[in-house]
Amino acid sequence: MLIEWIELDNFECYYTSPGKPPQRLSFDIEPQKRSLTFFVARNNSGKTTIIRALKFLFYNEVDEMQIVNNKALSEVGVGGKITIAVRARVRFDHPSGPEWVTLVRKYEAKRLEDGDEGLRVREIDRQMTLTKRESPSRNRDYYGADATSMVKEQLPKELFPFYFLDGENLKNKLGLGGDAFDKQMLNAIHDSLYSSVFERAADICSKSIQKVQRELAGLAKQSKAMEQVQEDRDKKAVELAGFQSQMKELKKEFDRYQADYQHLDEKYLGLAQSESASAAAMLKEARREEDSLKEDIKRVGLKIKELLSDALPYAFMERASGVALEVIDSLHERNIFPVNITEDLISELIKQKECVCGSRLEEGTKELARLQAYRERALRQNMDEDLKGIRSILLEDSRSSQTIISKLSASKDFISEELSFYRDKMTALAECQDRIRRAERKIAKGHDTAIRDCITQRRIAFERKEEASDKISRFEQGILRVSSEKDKLDAELKRKVPKGSPAQKILDNLAVLQRVLEIIERSKKEIQYEIRSRLETHTKEIYEKISTDNSYAVIQKNLLPDIRNMGQKTNQGGGQKKVLTMAYMVGLANVRKEICAELRKHIHLRVTGEQCFFMDSIYSDMDIEYQKSVTEILPSFVTQLLVLVAPQNCSEAVQGKLKGHVTDMYRAIHYTSKVKGDDPQSVDLWGKTVQLVERIEDDLAYSQLEKVEVC
Amino acid sequence: MFEFLKEHDDETVGVFKTLINSCFDDSDKDDNDLVQELLHQVKDIKLEGQE
């Protein structure tokens, strides 16, 4: 399909002055030449409007708020009508030759009262007309669905986003990312070529087979010889269908149990782990407490030991206390502090000491009494001085014994106090150790319960699975048996059909139809495979021609995933990604053309797959080398190419390359558009064939352009 | 593409091509009409073959 010209009549920013013809963008098509058009215009001066106009014309897609030219609308009074139109002369390419048609889509609206946001309209009517020359003297008009289906056949709607490529906003237009992008591309070409046709053909073939089978069954009933066989065969067919249906259900059931079985390990082991984790936390806490208590007990034990050492300084106790301390040390080393032993030991030591001291006191008292008596006797014998000395020694001895007893009593109290603290700690330790034992039991029990549950559930699932599996295998045997019986009856039926009889003919027809159905199914797979493999080859070829500094293998690895993921990522990489995207799109067009050609060898296809290619803002985010390559290489891959580009992105290098296209091969034209005055709703088209202006962005260059002639 | 068609007899391939062409060309036709046409063609082929 090629577009010769397009007219925009009060469509968006393209205002048509009253009484004047609408503005026309002519692509200057010449037979046997490729059409290359550069439309260089500043931002917001109507470039992308061209693409929207085509979308409106071909597919009736419209942005209600934007479509009507506001300047034209303001000239209509409230309640007045306005008609917006897009017209185009388009070449449909058929295998038998080109066919020129004129397409017109009109949008009629009524002006409403102005709203807060400005002018408002209400749509009244919208219609499309396709005019085709039927004979040299007669044109024929097609309307509505007829016209639409002719356009869709040439350029399926699914392919529009790819051929009318907006480099800036493709990702937004598609609104896709990841595999969905690939899928949409492949589906678009798939649907545009054959899918629905092959699906329908398969359906019609199946219906025909059913009809022939019914015919055969009817015929069989007419023949007595065949009647019983046919009846048996039909019964077997019903039985087989029943088996197959039950088999399907069983397989579903089996899959369900299989899935249950597989999930059980994960589920129940997860539970066991969770139970264990909770008990382990308790255990950890109890063990920490146990450590702390043992530390306290050790400290108290050492204190007691110290007090005992203080309280037993006496020579007569040294041996006994030494033994006791050795015992205590030994117990401390093993972190064992038996309260009763320590307590008994201390009591015994104190008792011994009290006993010894008491005995000494008693002895001293007795000695004192004896000495008193002796003194009295000595007094009588004038031995006073001697007696005084002895008495003093005895008194000293007595006082010393009393001091020891009082010191021991104080130590005993203190030791008792420490022992009481020691007993408390020992009690806490016992409780703590009890908790540890409980936690350990809980861990063991938690594991056991969860694992036991798991094993039970798994066993149940396994049994069910095995049961379903047994049923399946029994059904498989049943199906095999019934199928074999049915085959035998079919064979018998065939034997009973005399050659050349109507029934034989029907059987032969049935066989042909079954083979046709098989071919249709295989063709679908074949074309699917071809589309994928050829798309890859074309993309590689186009990319490698455009890009000189990267091998496709590297780009494919690094960038292809990005392109497929455009929904999430922005354009990067000096234009590599954009170039690859274009290669992908042009590759798609080439694949369609090739597949159409292949299909035409076998079937009567009315389209050739030739496509026009419109590309919007392709140079933005692209470095100069890429811009040059794209300008040089891309036009050679397509029959018609319109490049919409902003002046800031159209470098001298691009223009240099563009001039190189002005050869016998190409008919190149350069267009621009300019906003008239300050009114963004009034855009004028300017153009000049072949001779490109040097610096199109300055006003002088604009003034050198010729105004587009309108018809 | 479609090399596998060589594996089939001309008669079957002919029916296949006719059917696909009908689906392309007569997209507006009722499915039942296409079924009738297909059956008619298949029967004709067989009868011609036998004659």
A212 lies within 8 A of chain B by CB? yes
SS (H, E, C) A593-607: HHHHHHHHHHCCCCC
Averaged over A564-577, what is the pLDDT? 54
Q: Is A598 in CB contact (< 8 Å) with chain B? A: yes
Spell out which residues of chain A touch residue B5, defining contact as CB-CB under 8 Å: 519, 602
Q: What CA–CA distance (Å, rounded) separates A371 from A390? A: 8
Q: Which residue has the higher pLDDT, A308 or A598?
A: A598
At residue B45, the pLDDT reads 65
Find the range with the poorest average confidence among A38-47, A64-73, A369-378, A452-461.
Answer: A369-378
pLDDT tens figures, A361-372: 666 667 666 666
Residues contacting residue A354 through CB under 8 Å, at least 6 positions apart: A405, A408
> What is d(CA A547, CA A363) in angstroms, rounded to the nearest whole number?
123
For the segment A623-644, what is each residue's pLDDT rounded down to a tens digit? Answer: 788 888 888 888 888 888 888 8
CB A661 within 8 A of CB A643: no
Compute the count of residue pairs across chains A and B with CB atoms less than 8 Å apart. 92
What are the pLDDT digits (tens) for A72-126? Answer: 998 998 999 999 999 999 998 888 888 899 999 999 999 988 877 778 888 888 8
- Cα torsion through A481, A484, A489, A495, rounded to 10: -160
Q: Does B10 touch chain A (CB under 8 A)?
A: no
Q: How close, in Å, is residue A34 to chain B by CA atoms?
A: 29
Q: DSSP string covering A639-692, please?
A: SEEEEEE-GGG--HHHHHHHHTT-SSSEEEEEEEEEE-TT-TT-EEEEEEES--
- Choice between A352 and A323, residue whose per-residue pLDDT is larger: A352
State whether B1 and A598 contact (CB < 8 Å).
yes
- Given an 8 Å threshold on Cβ–Cβ distance, is A505 in contact with B50? yes
- A526 to chain B, closest Cα gap in Å: 7
Contact call for B20 and A603, based on CB within 8 A:
yes
- Comparing A274-283, A400-409, A702-711, the range with the smallest average pLDDT is A702-711
In angstroms, what CA-CA distances link A374 with A226, A359, A369, A381, A386? 158, 21, 8, 10, 11
Q: In the prediction, which pLDDT does A313 show? A: 46
Sign of the CA dihedral with A193 first, then A195, A201, and A204 last: negative
pTM, two decimal places: 0.57
* Better-predicted residue by pLDDT, A662 or A580: A580
- C-alpha distances in Å from residue A577, one per residue of A67, A231, A580, A658, A696: 33, 67, 5, 22, 27
| Structural contact between residues A411 and A310, judged by C-beta atoms closer than 8 angstroms | yes
Give residue A407's pLDDT band: very low, low, confident or very high (50, 70, 90). low
Q: Are A193 and A595 in contact (CB under 8 A)?
A: yes
Count the alpha carbons within 13 Å of A262 in the hemisphere toward its beta carbon.
6
Question: Predicted confidence band at A701 (pLDDT cuts at 50, 70, 90)?
Answer: very low
Strands (E), A207-325: none
For an interface test with A, give the residue of B12, B15, B20, B27 to mutate (most A CBs within 10 A).
B20
Alpha helices in A381-501, H assignment, sequence order: 384-496
Among A137-146, A295-304, A672-681, which range has the highest average pLDDT?
A137-146
Averaged pLDDT for residues A521-540: 83
B28/chain A closest Cα distance in angstroms: 10
pLDDT in tens, B12-29: 888 888 888 887 766 667
**Residue range A456-509, pLDDT digits in tens:** 777 787 787 788 788 778 778 878 888 888 788 777 777 766 666 677 777 888
Cα separations (Å) of A417 from A411, A421, A424, A603?
Answer: 10, 7, 11, 111
Would you call A711 helix, strand, or coil by DSSP? coil
Angle ∠(A205,A207,A210) on CA atoms, nearest 5: 110
Is B12 touching A (CB cutoff 8 A)? yes
Q: Which residues of B touch A212 (CB under 8 A)?
A: 39
Find the closest chain B residue to A597 by CA distance: B1
Q: Phi and psi (nearest 5°) for A147?
A: -65, -45
Which residues, 6+ apart, have CB-to-CB distance to A253 below 8 Å? A468
Mean per-residue pLDDT for A502-531? Answer: 84
Q: Mean pLDDT in chain A? A: 72
pLDDT of residue A705: 47
Of A198, A513, A527, the CB nearest to B42: A513
pLDDT for the residue numbered A89: 94
Work out the pLDDT band at A702, boundaries 50, 70, 90: very low
Name the band, by pLDDT with cuts 50, 70 and 90, for residue A53. Answer: very high
Q: Which chain B residues are closer than 8 Å to A149 by Cβ?
A: 27
Q: Using 50, 70 and 90 to split pLDDT, how confident is the model at A395?
A: low
Spatial distance between the Cα atoms of A178 and A437, rounded to a whole number of angstroms: 57
Query: Mean of the pLDDT values across residues A669-693?
Result: 54
Cβ contact A500–B50 (<8 Å): yes
Q: What is the pLDDT of residue A271?
A: 61
Name the residue among B17, B25, B31 with its Cβ closest to that of A207.
Answer: B31
A517 in reach of chain B (CB within 8 A): no
CA distance B46 to chain A (A): 7
Tell me if chain A has a CB within 8 Å of the CB of B19.
yes
Out of A212, A604, A605, name the one closest to residue B39 (CB): A212
Between A437 and A658, where is the model more confident? A437
User: What per-residue string of b and e applies to A676-697 under the rule 16 or more CB within 10 Å gives b?
Assistant: eeeeebbbbbbbbeeebbeebe
* Chain A residues within 8 A of B2 when measuring between CB atoms: 523, 526, 598, 601-602
Residue A365: C-alpha distances to residues A31, A391, A416 (Å)? 152, 11, 31
User: Closest chain B residue to A528 measured between Cα atoms?
Assistant: B1
Which of A203, A598, A604 comes nearest B21 by C-beta? A604
